[in-house]
């Protein structure tokens, strides 16, 4: 039997592979940091607010408020109770007041008592209270928590009224950033538990005070609350007067600017100022948070944007209706766009009646009714391109109009507005459409001449606008003259024998 050579199993892998495997192992060993418990985060935020008041550094307060949206989704009764217990001493009056707005802690059942020993050290008992700003922050968290459930809306309204009274009694400028968030929560509490109109005098007085004190954050929040109140009750004239008499603070946050442009776009759309409305709605979309962060606001703005673009005579891009966040919300508006694009009045009426409930809920029903004239204009334009002559009776049938008089009036207005080219022959009862323009002729040459003249004028103006430094060429001439003089001196010295090759250097 032949001998079998035993190969060693300790074969070394290439160094590159070892490094790659080590990196993979390191990645597996690295674990994501565990999120901070909500009670601990609330306690840390209260400490940061107290530090901001003590050191007069508002950036700590702004850092806390940036996490408000994510934190309020994670809090519950037990989280708030534990945080308040850890922040305030046992006999604190503020602690008793805050805990009164929360349900009492459930008593542990007798069978749930365990003999496990907790290895974590007990929390230190607080000996001093934080600044009043920390109390306002905790009240804000409790208020947002009470607004989550329908059963606690009345309790949230009562807490909001008490918080506003205490905030105005304290009258501390270090509370401005938190006050802006509180005003938004107060507006929400009035909207869910009562009528927003009841809070309007309160908001007007607070807005006047914020303007006098140059409190930009509270002023921006209160202006948006007032505009929301006016628009909800269709008081567009009062909202327009408020906008004209006030100035939105330029230092406001992007979220407040987005809301302000959204309300301004709705006001301008109702006033038939579609160009400004389109501009404001676009600004609201640009300043708003990402679509997945605030899907409701993103959908609401795009609903008005689609309607305004249709009223301007434009057709929105089809890719807009394929967006992940907008695809389902804009289904009814996509049907309206198809009806306007085809110019079918019957399809438009059927779509309007089918989605009337949704349009009424979105407060866009009255604006969509205005699109009827756009649909008719589109249909007339398509007929003028298809027929050289068509009777008014056929126009009534094809566009589903009521009578020939209506068709005559609509066609005449379309001709007068420049939508179509043609004329109405009243004696014979038909419309003669203008011949299609060719690519040649005096009109085309005149238009081409105007464009060429514009380009030449633009070139001439650009040349005139160019500026050069004065006497710059003289400096260049002087420098060249000096260089020539130096060359003459060197040549003369070399000729006289005063300079050697070593004195001239290696590069001469």
CATH code of the domain in which 429 resides: 1.10.10.10
80-91 burial code (b ≥16 CB/10 A, e <16): bbbbbbbbbeee
**For residue 425, what are the domain limits?**
381-433
Q: How high is the pLDDT of residue 53?
A: 84
Measured in whole angstroms, the distance separating CA 434 from the mean position of its chain's CA atoms is 46
In a domain, 393, yes or no: yes
* Full DSSP string of 130-171: --HHHHHHHHHHHHHHHTTSGGGHHHHHHHHHHHHHHHHHH-
Number of structural domains (the chain) is: 2
Going from the C-alpha of 408 to that of each of 234, 254, 342, 343, 414, the distances in angstroms are: 36, 50, 21, 18, 10
In a domain, 336, yes or no: no
In a domain, 366, yes or no: no
In a domain, 200, yes or no: no
Q: How high is the pLDDT of residue 264?
A: 94
- What average pLDDT does range 153-174 have in this prediction? 86
Torsional sign, CA 161, 167, 171, 177: negative
| Last residue within a domain, chosen from 194, 210, 236 | 194
In a domain, 401, yes or no: yes
In a domain, 417, yes or no: yes
pLDDT above 50 for 181: yes
Which structure tokens are listed for 368? 């969509």
Question: Using one digit for the tens of pLDDT, what is the confidence trace for 229-258?
Answer: 999 888 999 999 999 998 898 888 888 999
Going from the C-alpha of 455 to that of each of 343, 461, 464, the distances in angstroms are: 38, 10, 14
Q: How high is the pLDDT of residue 18?
A: 52
pLDDT above 80 for 367: yes
In a domain, 290, yes or no: no
Q: How high is the pLDDT of residue 411?
A: 75
Beta carbons of 137 and 64 less than 8 angstroms apart: yes
* Spatial distance between the Cα atoms of 366 and 264, rounded to a whole number of angstroms: 17
In a domain, 255, yes or no: no
Question: Using one digit for the tens of pLDDT, what is the confidence trace for 308-352?
Answer: 988 887 888 888 888 888 889 899 999 988 888 887 778 888 888
Contacts of residue 493, defined as CB under 8 A and 6 or more positions apart, other chains included, come to 499
- Of 53-67, 172-186, 229-243, 467-481, the one with minimum mean pLDDT is 467-481
């Amino acid at each position: 039997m032949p001998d079998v050579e035993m190969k060693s199993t300790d074969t070394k892998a290439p160094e590159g592979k070892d490094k790659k495997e080590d990196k993979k192992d390191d990645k597996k060993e690295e674990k994501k940091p565990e999120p901070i418990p909500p009670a601990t985060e609330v306690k840390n935020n209260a400490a940061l607010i107290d530090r901001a008041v003590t050191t007069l550094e508002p950036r700590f307060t702004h850092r806390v408020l940036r996490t408000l949206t994510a934190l309020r989704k994670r809090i519950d009764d037990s989280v708030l109770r534990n945080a308040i217990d850890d922040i305030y001493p046992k006999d604190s009056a503020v602690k008793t007041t805050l805990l009164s707005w929360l349900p009492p802690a459930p008593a542990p059942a007798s069978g749930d008592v365990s003999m496990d020993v907790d290895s974590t050290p007990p929390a230190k008992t607080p000996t001093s209270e934080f600044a009043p700003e920390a109390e306002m922050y905790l009240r804000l968290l409790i208020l947002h928590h009470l607004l989550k459930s329908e059963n606690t809306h009345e309790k949230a309204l009562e807490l909001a009224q008490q918080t506003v009274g205490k905030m105005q009694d304290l009258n501390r400028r270090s509370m401005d950033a938190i006050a802006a968030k509180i005003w938004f929560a107060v507006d929400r509490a009035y909207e869910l538990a009562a009528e927003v109109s009841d809070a309007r005098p309160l908001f007007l007085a607070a807005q006047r005070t914020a303007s006098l004190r140059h409190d930009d954050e509270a002023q921006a929040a209160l202006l948006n609350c007032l505009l929301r109140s006016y628009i909800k009750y269709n008081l567009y004239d009062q909202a327009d007067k408020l906008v004209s008499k006030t100035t939105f603070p330029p230092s406001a946050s992007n979220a407040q600017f987005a809301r302000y442009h959204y309300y301004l776009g709705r006001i301008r759309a109702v006033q038939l100022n579609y160009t400004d409305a389109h501009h404001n709605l676009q600004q609201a979309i640009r300043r708003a948070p990402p679509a997945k962060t605030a899907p409701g606001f993103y959908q609401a703005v795009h609903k008005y944007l689609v309607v305004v673009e249709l009223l301007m005579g434009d057709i929105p891009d089809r890719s807009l209706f394929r967006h992940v966040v907008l695809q389902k919300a804009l289904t009814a508006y996509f049907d309206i766009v198809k009806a306007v694009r085809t110019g079918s009045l019957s399809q438009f009426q059927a779509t309007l009646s089918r989605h009337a409930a949704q349009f009424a809920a979105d407060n866009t029903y009255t604006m969509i009714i205005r699109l009827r004239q756009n649909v008719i204009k589109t249909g007339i334009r398509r007929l003028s391109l298809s027929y050289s002559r068509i009777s008014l009776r056929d126009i009534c049938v094809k566009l589903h109009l009521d009578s020939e008089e209506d068709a005559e009036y609509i066609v005449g207005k379309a001709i007068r507005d420049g939508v179509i080219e043609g004329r109405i022959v009243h004696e014979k009862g038909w419309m003669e459409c203008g011949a299609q323009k060719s690519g040649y002729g005096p009109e085309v040459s005149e238009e081409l001449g105007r464009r060429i003249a514009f380009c030449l004028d633009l070139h001439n103006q650009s040349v005139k606008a160019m500026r050069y430094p004065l006497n710059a060429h003289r400096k260049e001439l002087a420098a060249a003259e000096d260089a020539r003089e130096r060359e003459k001196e060197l040549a003369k010295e070399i000729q006289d024998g005063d300079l050697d090759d070593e004195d001239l250097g290696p590069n001469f």
